[in-house]
Structure 1
Amino acid sequence: MFPQKMILTFSIYSILIAFALIFSVLLTNKLVKIEVLDVRYPEIDGLRGYLAFFVFLHHSYIWRFFLQSGEWNEPISNLFNHFGQTTVAFFFVITAFLFTLKLINSKNKEINWSAYISARLYRLFPMYLFSVGIIFFIAGYLTNFKSKVPFSENIVTILSWIFFNVKKGLNINGLEDSFLLNAGITWTLPYEWVFYFLLPLIALFFKIKVNYKIILSFTVVAALIMIINGSSLRHFFPFLGGIIAALVIKKNIFGTVLKQKKYTFLAISLLVCSVYFFDSGRRPIPIIITSIVFIIIASGNSFFGILSSAFSRKFGQITYSIYLLHGILLFVIFYFVIGFEEAKKMTDNEFWSVIALSVFPLIFISQLTFKYIEHPLMELAKVKLKSSSVKS
Structure 2
Amino acid sequence: MLKSYQMFVWILGLLLLCWAVFGSRLFAFMDNLDSRRVERLDGLRFLLAFCVVMHHYVYSYYYLHGQPWTPAVFVHNLLNLRMGVFGVTLFFMLSGYLFAQTSPVSWPHFYLKRFLRIAPIFYLSSCCCVLLALYLQRHSLVSRNMLLNLYYWFDAGITGVKPPLFGMQDARLINAGVTWTLFWEWAFYFSLPLLCFVRQKTGLLPLAMSVIFIAVYCGAPFNQQKAYFIACFAVGALARIVPETIQLPKKLCDSAIVLLLVLIFCITTGRYHIHFLPLFALLFILIALGGDIFGLLRLKAFVRLGDASYSIYLLHGIGWFCLNKVIAVHNLVLNRTQYTLVSTAVIFVLLVICTLTYQYIEKPFMALGRRKSPWLKE
TM-score, with structure 1 as normaliser: 0.82
Hey, what does 1:359 align to over in structure 2?
347
Deviations 1:339-382 (A, max 9, x none): 35746x54433332222222211111001100000000111111
Kept in 2: contact 1:241–1:288 (CA 8 A):
no
Deviations 1:88-140 (A, max 9, x none): 010000001110122xxx4xxx7311111111001000111111111111111
Hey, what does 1:35 align to over in structure 2?
31
2:245 is paired with a residue whose SS is coil
| Whole-angstrom CA distance in 1 between matches of 2:147 and 2:283 | 43
1:174 is paired with a residue whose SS is coil
| Whole-angstrom CA distance in 2 between matches of 1:13 and 1:65 | 18
Give the 3 Å change call, closer, same or farther, for CA 8–167 of structure 1 in structure 2.
farther
The alpha carbon displacement at 1:281 in A equals: 4.9
Give the 3 Å change call, closer, same or farther, for CA 290–11 of structure 1 in structure 2.
same
Give the 3 Å change call, closer, same or farther, for CA 362–24 of structure 1 in structure 2.
farther
Deviations 1:293-340 (A, max 9, x none): 11111222222222123222111000000001100111111113x335
Aligned counterpart in structure 1 of residue 284 of structure 2, from 271, 286, 294? 294
Hey, what does 2:166 align to over in structure 1?
173
Deviations 1:202-229 (A, max 9, x none): 11221269xxxxxxxxxxxxxxxxxxxx
**Structure 2 unaligned spans of 5+:** 203-224
The alpha carbon displacement at 1:80 in A equals: 1.3
Q: Aligned runs of 1:180-199 on 2, under 5 Å?
A: 180-199=173-192
Aligned counterpart in structure 2 of residue 120 of structure 1, from 114, 117, 121? 114
| Whole-angstrom CA distance in 2 between matches of 1:58 and 1:115 | 35
Kept in 2: contact 1:62–1:72 (CA 8 A):
yes
Hey, what does 1:78 align to over in structure 2?
78
| Whole-angstrom CA distance in 2 between matches of 1:70 and 1:367 | 33
Kept in 2: contact 1:24–1:359 (CA 8 A):
no
- Runs of 4+ more than 4 Å apart: 165-168
The alpha carbon displacement at 1:388 in A equals: 8.2
| Whole-angstrom CA distance in 1 between matches of 2:139 and 2:241 | 52
Give the 3 Å change call, closer, same or farther, for CA 98–329 of structure 1 in structure 2.
same
The alpha carbon displacement at 1:185 in A equals: 0.9
Q: Aligned runs of 1:1-392 on 2, under 5 Å?
A: 6-26=3-23, 30=26, 33-38=29-34, 39-74=36-71, 75-76=74-75, 77-102=77-102, 106=103, 111-144=105-138, 147-150=141-144, 153-163=145-155, 164=157, 165=159, 170-207=163-200, 232-249=226-243, 252-255=244-247, 257=248, 259-336=249-326, 338-339=327-328, 342=331, 345-384=333-372, 392=378
Q: Higher mean Cα deviation, 91-100 or 277-286?
A: 277-286
The alpha carbon displacement at 1:238 in A equals: 0.9
Deviations 1:132-169 (A, max 9, x none): 1111111111122884132xx1122111121225667x
Kept in 1: contact 2:176–2:317 (CA 8 A):
yes
Kept in 2: contact 1:86–1:287 (CA 8 A):
no
Give the 3 Å change call, closer, same or farther, for CA 196–131 of structure 1 in structure 2.
same
Equivalent pairs counted in the alignment come to: 350
Kept in 2: contact 1:21–1:359 (CA 8 A):
no
Kept in 2: contact 1:82–1:280 (CA 8 A):
yes
The alpha carbon displacement at 1:15 in A equals: 4.1
TM-score, with structure 2 as normaliser: 0.84
| Whole-angstrom CA distance in 2 between matches of 1:97 and 1:388 | 30
**Structure 1 unaligned spans of 5+:** 210-230
Give the 3 Å change call, closer, same or farther, for CA 208–371 of structure 1 in structure 2.
farther
Give the 3 Å change call, closer, same or farther, for CA 284–78 of structure 1 in structure 2.
farther
Give the 3 Å change call, closer, same or farther, for CA 81–185 of structure 1 in structure 2.
same
